[in-house]
Structure 1
Amino acid sequence: MSFQNAPLFKTEQQLRGRAELLQKATTALTAELELPQLLEQVMDYLGGVVSYDSVCLFLVEGDGGTVRAVAGRGFDKPNEIIDRLYKSDTLFSIVARQKSPLVLQDTLNDDRFCRWGGAEHIRGWMCLPLIWREKIIGFMTVDSRKVNAYNNEDAKYAQAFANQAASAIQISRLFTEAQALAISDPLTGVYNRRYFFELAGQHVASARESNQTASAIMIDVDNYKKVNDTYGHLSGDQILKVVTECFTSVLSEEEILARMGGDEFIILLPNQNRAQAEHVAERLRSTLEHAAIRVKDAEVAVTASFGVAEIDPARMDLDDMINRADQALYFSKNAGRNTVS
């Protein structure tokens, strides 16, 4: 090989190496569907694409006016940066508008740069848009302690990687959303009936093995049909959302709330006896009774009836417990509603 051709050969080797790395990264990233693990892999492979001292991944939330820092490395105080919401600043707005990378040779000489979380070490800086189907879904910021750390060639190569990362991130988010829809009630966001029985069955089996107890609360919103007829179905949906918020404000993480359908809810209380479950049900009843619920500029009084049952230690049968809670619920409704039985 002639001396004149040596630079060309070296360039060809670099391009081939970059192409191989991008292909390897794409294969690995698209195979990972869990977002936290995927974000870690993105930062791992980024180090082979371009050197950095710190990096942060932001995902757009809501209407695009805010971004959340979802992952990062190399920061002295990561808790002051990661998992926080930020308003899209001037630099992010420029990158979003141009849909192309932005490089700062020295952040100290650019008043537009915001040192979120006290990231004082950053001098060289590069921001890459995460684009999926022409839509900005986030940003990746790459930081260096050195001035003039990045050039346009670095940005071009890093953007090729960012495009692959954006596709993998969006696939992961869609996968997570699909999983949530499979187990959640689309209106209220709590567990749906199918997943409740799957989860409750696991808890009852565990209680049987460890000689523990469990209780269930069946709930029915009082006069819900009348609310629908008076204010319309959209208002009825709004009330179910408020009812859910009231319940979740009272319940602990261990207490499992689900919507059975219509205006009926169910709660499983692992390791709680009937007396404890009745106490929880009374707190739920009181919280809902005193909630200020407004529908079409009118304040609506909403109450619910509750039925409580503890699992039979001799049978440890989930269906039997729920049937007895359901019978107690109807006793509450026949007793005048807005009560616990």
Structure 2
Amino acid sequence: MTRREETNISFAKRFFKSQSVTFPFIDYLKEPVVILKRDGHILEANNAFLKFSGVKKKDIIGKDSQDIMPLKVLSENIVKCKFDRLEKSEQITFGNHILNATITPVIVNEDLNFISIIFRDSSAFVQLERALLKRNKELGIINTLSGAFISSGNIDSVFTDLLERALIVSDFGIGWIVMKEDGKFALRSVSGASLELRHELEKGELNTLYNDVVELTDPMYVLESGETERIEILKKEGIVFFACIPLRVGAETTGILMLASRVEIKFDFDTAALFSLIGNNISLISEKIKLFQETQRLALTDGLTGLYNVRFFYDMLNKEIARSRRYNTLFSLILFDIDDFKIINDTQGHQAGDEALRSVASILSTVSRETDIVVRYGGEEFILMLPNTPKTEAFTLANRIREKVEEHSYLEKETVKITMSGGVATFPEDAEDSKSLLYAADMAMYEAKARGKKQIYSYRRVRETGIQEA
């Protein structure tokens, strides 16, 4: 309240207390004012009140205040003011206005003479307060969602944490997140759904719907009660409200957040704004996750071939040895070296040599198994780690890879061929630790080189420390 408003209201209160019957200056007051008799009937009202309430003076003077709006809303406090002889305040809504009403008993010679009611429009202040509360809520949601990324020690669990927080702030019971990966939708997290629904989602039963949502330019796709029955798996789950919120980075849709409820939800502007806020923030966080994963990938892969680098290999090798010891399992290494690679560099140029390395790396990745770890070991050397693979199987795979490499024509020239030599070693059969295992694979590979190249040898630990072909 401004100083001027306080002065006006203070003047009005003093003025009313000084008057006994007539109110000649009431219309000079800017605030809407009504004077009531002790019985609650209207004695006087100023022009500000008449204009504000949209009534004529002749239609309200002498009428019971309980029959006139907005006085009717104040009936309870008017009665309390009369009997308690204490000033009362109440906030009411009238039309598009939010009003603070001050109800004051005017006592003359210890008798209640009349009751004054002064209205102050506080719409602007209330709207500001609501805007601040809304903004605080939005900041709270942003902080809650951002915390999933900041506090997570495992980047793979971020989507699970994000979804749980999204369900909390939206007060929904069911949700899941799908992300576009290599042109397909991958289910990254699901919460609150039955096992049957989880299985259906993992099978991609809603992929057609996801594609339709991606094609839309709308900020969200909502199905309310009755509409969800058109989708069988939602109907079986008892879902009566379903929202798809595209996760967009720029013009690209990178994923979709689904929120669902088994109880009816009123979809209004506030709900839509909440969905938009959650979707925008998950979009930003998912982009950060993508950048983080790309940074991780670059740190762990070879820049030329895209295969894993030596740093990653050594880390995985130590982990695989620890796992092998703990569970009494075995694994094998295959170390390849391209034969006479220097000739390609000298005759075709180093750029051609790089292209040949990329081609070999592609063959290694294609022919090897999904569980195998394929690494560029350095220069023209490559190494494969094969979990749970005995030496005979590793030897067979090594020869299959060698044959594929030899069959291929490089640099788009039929005359450019590549051969490889390789060595196979198995833990714990051939070594007790990582260093001796790498030594064993290296020795087997050099034996293959010494015996004419373009062949595979397996390491055999014998008393004479000899190397024998498998």
Task: Give the TM-score, by structure 1 length.
Answer: 0.74
Other-structure match for 2:198: 78
Contact 1:269–1:277 at 8 Å: present in 2 too?
no
Tell me which residue corresponds to 2:163.
43
- Which amino acid in structure 2 is aligned with residue 28 of structure 1? G
Read off the aligned partner of 1:90 and give its amino acid letter.
D
**Separation in 2, partners of 1:271, 1:42:** 35
Unmatched segments (≥5 aa) in structure 2: 1-89, 100-122, 458-470
Two-structure CA RMSD over aligned residues (Å): 4.2
Moved more, 224-233 or 158-167: 224-233
| Alignment correspondent of 1:108 | 227
Aligned residues: 325
1:167 aligns with 2:284: yes
Q: Which of 227, 240, 259 does residue 142 from structure 1 map onto?
A: 259
Counterpart position of 1:91: 213
Cα 1:148/1:224, change in 2 over 3 Å: same
Report if the CA contact (8 A) 1:288-1:304 is conserved.
Answer: yes
Distance 2:426 2:132 in 1: 71
Paired amino acid for 2:212: T
Specify whether residues 152 and 220 from structure 1 end up closer, same or farther in structure 2 by C-alpha distance, changes over 3 A only.
Answer: same
Alignment partners' CA distance in 1, 2:288 and 2:378: 30
CA deviations 1:182-212 (Å, max 9, x no partner) are 2233455543112222333455577789999
| CA deviation vs aligned residue, 1:289-312 (integer Å, no higher than 9, x gap) | 157646649698764311234679
CA distance in 2, matches of 1:47, 1:200: 40
Q: Deviations over 1:273-298 (max 9, x none)?
A: xxx42541233213541576466496
Say whether the 8 Å CA contact 2:167–2:173 is kept in structure 1.
no
Distance change (3 Å), C-alpha of 1:262 and 1:246: farther
Is 2:150 the counterpart of 1:31?
Answer: yes
d(CA) in 1 for partners of 2:380, 2:226: 56
Residue 52 of structure 1: aligned partner: 172
CA distance in 1, matches of 2:203, 2:416: 37
TM-score normalised to the size of structure 2?
A: 0.56
CA distance in 2, matches of 1:256, 1:209: 20
Question: Identity, % of aligned pairs?
Answer: 20
* CA deviation after TM superposition for structure 1 residue 226, in Å: 5.9
Per-residue deviation, 1:260: 0.3
Q: Which amino acid aligns with 2:420?
A: A
Q: Which runs of 4+ in 1 moved over 6 A?
A: 205-214, 311-315
Letter in 2 for 1:286: R
User: Does residue 266 in structure 1 map to residue 355 in structure 2?
Assistant: no
Q: Which residue of 1 aligns with 2:233?
A: 118
Cα pair 1:18 1:49 within 8 Å, conserved: no
Instruction: Return closer, same or farther for 1:226/1:45 CA change in 2, 3 Å cut-off.
Output: same
Where does residue 327 of structure 1 map in the other structure? Answer: 443
Higher RCO (Cα < 8 Å, 6 or more apart): 1
Residue 338 to residue 139, structure 1, CA distance change in 2 (3 Å): same
Deviates more, 1:311-320 or 1:117-126: 311-320
Structure 1 range deviating more: 290-299 or 190-199: 290-299
Answer yes or no: is the 8 Å Cα contact 2:241–2:263 preserved in 1: yes
Q: Partner of 1:177: helix, strand, or coil?
A: helix
Paired with 1:124 and 1:271, the residues of 2 have a C-alpha distance of 48
Matching residue's letter, 2:213: L
* Aligned residue number for residue 219 of structure 1: 336
Please state if 1:240 is matched with 2:357. Answer: no
